């Protein structure tokens, strides 16, 4: 037997490079050496999940190193299995030249390609999750949906789990049974401050939560070119969030009048109130607001401003996204806006100046790191959301508010109190980044501001019933 060397490696040819946000990715090749002769052989057809066909140098180092990294453990196992398979193939078939190895691998790939490859539902979810990670978007909702479907498949004895469940078995009946499972499946609550104050009879998911899971599932199926719209009828319907998870007016008043010397509690409550006045706006959108998003309703009344922006969450899910126009009476919200160093000055030369400084007083991850570009807004908002929830639980317990302490509860509260005004996308307006051009382009802006002002006055009236 001729001595040989055989290992998996990256082939760094410019024409095979894929440019991504994570860096340049190169294809996985088989490097084979017989004596002084050596070559790279393409193995794309032989690569199986969870191994990928392309990697960055950093990703390759992680899966090929001896050190175990939990996040890539499955890929590492498949990497070494495939490499060992190639070594055994050369020995078992007594391949002695590079040409013999190339021809054998080519024939092997053609055999696999001629046989229809079974596609599993779990792998489609993994692709969607990876797509979110690559775009630096939150993948948590897809992970949660995948876990619920995995439990459904196991409980109904339809298979060993989602990773081994063929995609061809998904149909309308499967989705109907999944809906029924999610509506009856009990929620397991973890032990925390919130578990002491939330009644234990709230054990099933709301229809709104179930619809969220179904929309994520539908998105995965659509990415696989499956015509499934009729299977998910009704999951786009907005469900009014009433009951235990919605803040009542007297509870909102308690939060508005809350006083404390604890800086983190104060910050958390102020973030909640800012979210409330911004119509339930997500924290990531508050973080990204800049002076280019602000305009003056009446130049003679500097206290009247409007803030216009497009929701980050809907940019990927809708062609145009959802545009919001929020009215702010800075005189009435003076203390709250002053706390976050609100900067309403419209600076044409500096449109990228941030409207708020939202950094918590006692958290490692600061706003300045985002401003420098060291971290992205998604990571920052997720980190701050967790910090905010931690202290809101304590505040809610202290004020005897029997709700889950988090920013999501105030978002669901505003859904019941206001109706968001929809209009054309800001992407359709030339020069919208300039606030003054933006005002001129919108013929219906006065009506939008009027509706938004009515909303503001209504929300503010709830917090100050005596005025």
The residue ranking higher by pLDDT, 251 or 160, is 251
Query: SS3 for 176?
Result: helix
Read off the pLDDT of residues 208-230 as tens digits, 9 standing for 90 and up. 788 889 999 999 998 888 888 88
Mean pLDDT over residues 245-262, rounded?
A: 90
Average pLDDT over residues 91-100: 85
Say if CB 376 and CB 315 are below 8 A apart: no
Q: 367-380 pLDDT, tens per residue?
A: 666 666 666 777 78
Q: Is the pLDDT of residue 311 over 90?
A: no
Q: What are the beta bridge partners of residue 32?
A: 6, 39
Q: What percent of the chain has pLDDT over 70?
A: 77
pLDDT given for residue 217 in this prediction: 92
Among residues 308, 282, 290, 304, which one has the least CA distance to residue 422?
Answer: 308
Q: How far apart are the first and last CA of the chain?
A: 94
What's residue 86's pLDDT? 87
Averaged pLDDT, 39-52: 84
pLDDT in tens, 139-163: 888 999 999 999 899 887 766 789 8
According to the model, what pLDDT value does residue 243 have?
45
Above 60 in pLDDT, residue 436? no
Higher pLDDT: 194 or 287? It is 287
Which residue from 436, 412, 21 is spatially nearest to 241, judged by alpha carbons?
412
- Paired with 23 in beta bridges are 20
Q: Is a pLDDT exceeding 60 seen at residue 200?
A: no
pLDDT of 389 > 70? The answer is yes
Q: How far apart are CA 148 and CA 175, in angstroms?
A: 12
Q: If you average pLDDT over residues 5-15, what whole number do you get?
A: 85
**13 Cβ partners below 8 Å, 6+ apart?**
26
Q: What is the pTM of this model?
A: 0.53
Quick one: pLDDT band at residue 236, thresholds 50, 70, 90?
A: confident
Domain extents in the chain: 4-114, 121-232, 249-463
């Amino acid at each position: 037997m001729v001595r040989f060397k055989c290992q998996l490696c990256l082939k760094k040819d410019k024409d095979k490079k894929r440019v991504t946000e994570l860096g340049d990715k190169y294809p996985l090749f088989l490097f084979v050496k017989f004596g002084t002769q050596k070559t790279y052989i393409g193995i794309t057809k032989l690569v199986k999940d969870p191994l990928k066909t392309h990697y960055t140098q950093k990703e390759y180092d992680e899966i090929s190193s001896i050190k175990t990294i939990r996040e890539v453990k499955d890929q590492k196992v498949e990497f070494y299995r495939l490499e060992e398979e190639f070594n055994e193939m050369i020995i078992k078939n007594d391949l002695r030249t590079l040409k013999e190895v190339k021809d054998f691998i080519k024939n092997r790939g053609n055999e696999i390609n001629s046989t229809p490859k079974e596609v599993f539902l779990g792998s489609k979810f993994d692709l969607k999750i990876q797509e979110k990670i690559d775009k630096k978007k939150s993948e948590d909702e897809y992970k949660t949906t995948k876990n619920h479907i995995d439990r459904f498949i196991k409980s109904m004895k339809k298979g060993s789990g989602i990773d081994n469940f063929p995609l061809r078995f998904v149909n309308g009946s499967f989705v109907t049974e999944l809906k029924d499972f999610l509506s009856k499946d009990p929620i397991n609550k973890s032990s925390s401050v919130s578990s002491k104050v939330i009644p234990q009879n709230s054990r099933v998911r709301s229809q709104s939560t179930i619809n969220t899971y179904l929309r994520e599932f539908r998105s995965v199926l659509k990415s696989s070119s499956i015509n499934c719209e009729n299977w998910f009828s009704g999951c786009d319907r907005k469900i009014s969030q009433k009951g235990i998870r919605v803040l009542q007016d007297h509870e909102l008043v308690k939060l508005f009048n809350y006083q404390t010397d604890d800086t983190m509690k104060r910050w958390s409550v102020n973030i909640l109130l800012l979210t409330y006045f911004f119509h339930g706006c997500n924290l990531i959108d508050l973080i990204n607001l800049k002076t280019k998003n602000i305009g003056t309703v009446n130049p003679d009344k500097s206290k009247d401003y409007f803030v216009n922006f497009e929701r980050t969450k809907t940019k990927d899910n809708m062609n145009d996204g959802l545009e919001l126009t929020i009215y702010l009476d800075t005189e009435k919200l003076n203390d709250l806006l002053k706390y976050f160093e609100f900067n309403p000055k419209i600076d044409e030369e500096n449109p990228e100046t941030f409207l708020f400084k939202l950094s918590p007083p006692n958290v490692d991850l600061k706003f300045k790191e985002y401003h420098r570009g060291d971290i992205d807004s998604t990571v920052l908002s997720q980190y701050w959301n967790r910090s905010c929830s931690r202290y809101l639980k304590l505040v809610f317990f202290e004020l005897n508010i029997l709700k889950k302490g988090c920013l999501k509860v105030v978002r669901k509260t505003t859904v019941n109190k206001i109706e968001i005004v929809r209009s054309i996308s800001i992407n359709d307006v030339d020069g919208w980044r300039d606030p003054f051009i933006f005002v001129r382009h919108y013929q219906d802006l006065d009506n939008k501001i009027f509706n938004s002002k009515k909303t503001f006055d209504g929300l503010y009236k709830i917090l100050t019933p005596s005025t």
